[in-house]
Structure 1
Amino acid sequence: MKKSRLCVIGAGFHATTNIYPSAIEAGAEIAAIATRSMERSKAALQRFGSTGTAYDDYKVMLQNEDCDGVIVVAQPHDQTSLVLACLEAGKHVYVDKPLGWNALEAAQIADAAEQAGVVLMVGFMKRYAPVYMKLKELITNGTLGAVRSFETRFAVDSTPFCKDDEQFMKLAAIHIVDLMRHLFGEVSQVTGFSNSNNEFISQSISLRFDNGIVGSVYFSGMSAWSRESESMLVTFDHGFAHADEINTLRIHKSLTSDLIPWQSLEEHDTVFTPSASAMSGCFRDLYLRGFVGEMAHFMECSRDRLTPRSSGRDNVGTMDLCDRILSTLV
């Protein structure tokens, strides 16, 4: 299959650590890179083995380059104007979260994409992480019955880049907020508590979904969590599933034997994990976190003009839920 020719706006740490290598691994060709510095753009092209064109003006790149899509990974306050320029140029766009700082801004950008008739995808990579894809499959196929409740945890040292509850919610915890919508649907009720102090974030949140599912959420953004951690425990009618640290999914089906359970070895769990190999290099992490999967999905949607799972329009719901959670924190 012909490689997708992608242009990229941005060459910061996240872009060069996660997005560029994932796009290339997914089968992309980097056709051009635009940053504020010609030297930086050239260095990024060289680093990733591209013979594409370097730019220090993204508008010139959009005018000159005939590509299959544009990746935008910039500072949050710059992304709205960058995406709108790409849409006006008729380009399919993948943009890192958050797209718009609130639901209103997100809706305006989604409107512009639909008016332009192009694909707009937002970077919520957890939707494409294998552990959560398998959990979503378990929820959809009903093997364990209906979901009743869940509890989830996300903890990370966000102090260098999040200075209050709102920044933490929209720059870090937003991935879990989006994942909850993806897995369980839309939310009807939210309550929350915060014990935050400036950049030291501690939040406890309860949610009820339209379908009756209830969930509890623990968010922490503190230097105490120098080891990033996340998990999701889901209780079904006939068992439970535990997604742990993005690399393990343990599924337990309710015991149906007539034997007394503590008298035998009737209980059993199914555990899914990736293999470990020196051959995986850094790509194992990029696959497990969902970066490679989302890049492959963007290229497929751009090629076939499909609506992405994490579309610009769907992003409006995620931004709205972020704002609703923040409004309840006391």
Structure 2
Amino acid sequence: MPLESTTDAASHRRAVGVIGAGFHATTNILPACVRADVQIQGIATRDIARSAAALLQFGSTGTPFDNASALIADPAIESVIVVAQPADQARISLEAIQAGRNVFADKPLGWTAAEATELADAADAAGVTLMVGFMKRYAPVYEQLAGLIADGELGDIRSFHLGFGCDSTAFCANEEEFLKLAAIHVIDLVRALFGEVTDVAVSSSSVGRAVSLAVLLEFESGVVGTLDLSGLPSYSSESERVRVTGEHGFAVVEDLVRLTVHTSRPHVEPTWASLSEHRTVFTPAESAMSGGGRDLQLRGFVGEIEHFIDAVQGGTTPRSSGRDNVLTMHLLELILAKAQAGGIT
């Protein structure tokens, strides 16, 4: 009997209720749940027929709900994934937290740092897991890059450059929306890779929906870096490139599918007289068998769901916790303030 009870409890902790069945939920989050072998206990939308259709689409025999509150109130559901509209994310997440549910919320969790702090405080008070969906942290290429940095393979890190571009003009009306709905992912990523920021300078050439920002960051660790952030129609194909430079090597990430690591042996003179340099390129395999799973894995959607479940099961703090999200929101607001101030300060 104890063995069965333990097994049942573990299985229950690998189950979630999902609030939202829009484009992002059905394209990324729900398929990632299936690939992560997470049971979908229920789905809530404003239309119970739509909720039922989404359950059927993803092979679940769970319960359809016609509103978020009904799903949150179901005592069988201990963990909730919130993929609502940005204006509703904080309110629904707070309701779930106050009901004692573990919460995985898509970004932005709190439109402001103050809202993010309220949610983190509520999760601490309720003793529940609160995680924010910053999937880039869980993308294999960035996890491997983080390992290289931590292991010292590149030597002491000195600088980085990150270029990110997407066509955000259809869903972002200004710099604030671009930063909070699109660029927030890479802003969070550089915090995860390099630590906390001590100083920020920004230059902007944005005009309305056409956003272009150059950001200079200085970190407590001594690292300096630049962000080239663009929300322009020219990036109809999303572009992302990161170069990290250390004393003994550098690494380049290209569009989440290619990691090039260049290292050299220090103190070899003259360097041209020996085979002192080494370059390794890492890429995923290409296969017709991967289907849509390849993209879900490489972009980090499967990894973030797995990490949430592991945190709930193990009682550990997620890497992209609600409390950590507060620091990302503070940095984002600082960048926005400098941009709106009219240039480098």
Deviation of the 1:268 alpha carbon: 2.6
Aligned residue in 2 for 1:172: 182
Distance 1:21 1:255 in 2: 44
Aligned residue in 2 for 1:2: 11
Given that residues 62 and 89 in structure 1 are in contact (C-alpha distance below 8 angstroms), is that contact kept between their aligned partners in structure 2?
yes
Distance 1:318 1:258 in 2: 41
SS of aligned partner of 2:289: helix
SS of aligned partner of 2:202: strand
Deviation of the 1:145 alpha carbon: 1.4
Q: May I ask how many residue pairs the two structures share in their alignment?
A: 330
Aligned residue in 2 for 1:22: 32
Stretches of 4+ aligned residues off by more than 2 angstroms: 255-268
Given that residues 33 and 45 in structure 1 are in contact (C-alpha distance below 8 angstroms), is that contact kept between their aligned partners in structure 2?
yes
Aligned residue in 1 for 2:139: 129
Matches within 5 A, 1:143-182: 143-182=153-192
Q: Structure 2 length as normaliser, TM-score? A: 0.93
Distance 1:312 1:258 in 2: 47
Deviation of the 1:263 alpha carbon: 6.3
Q: Which letter does structure 2 place at the counterpart of 1:77?
A: A
Distance 1:64 1:228 in 2: 39
Distance 1:319 1:248 in 2: 29
SS of aligned partner of 2:101: coil
SS of aligned partner of 2:109: coil
Aligned residue in 2 for 1:269: 279
Matches within 5 A, 1:208-219: 208-219=218-229
Matched, 1:325 2:335: yes
Pick the aligned partner of 1:118 from 128, 141, 146: 128
Given that residues 251 and 269 in structure 1 are in contact (C-alpha distance below 8 angstroms), is that contact kept between their aligned partners in structure 2?
yes
Q: Deviations over 1:35-80 (max 9, x none)?
A: 0011110110111111111010221222224124100001011011
Distance 2:244 2:254 in 1: 11
Identity %: 52
Q: What value does the CA root-mean-square deviation take over the aligned residues?
A: 1.4
Q: Structure 1 length as normaliser, TM-score? A: 0.97
Pick the aligned partner of 1:58 from 45, 68, 91: 68
Aligned residue in 1 for 2:42: 32
Q: 1:265 to 1:140 in 2, by over 3 A?
A: closer
Matched, 1:314 2:324: yes
Deviation of the 1:173 alpha carbon: 0.2
Q: Deviations over 1:234-259 (max 9, x none)?
A: 00011101111101111111244857
Given that residues 141 and 259 in structure 2 are in contact (C-alpha distance below 8 angstroms), is that contact kept between their aligned partners in structure 1?
yes
Q: Structure 2: which 5+ runs fail to align?
A: 1-9
Pick the aligned partner of 2:59 from 49, 65, 69: 49
Pick the aligned partner of 2:96 from 86, 90, 95: 86
Q: 1:223 to 1:202 in 2, by over 3 A?
A: same
Matched, 1:184 2:194: yes
Distance 1:140 1:200 in 2: 37
SS of aligned partner of 1:114: helix
Aligned residue in 1 for 2:3: none
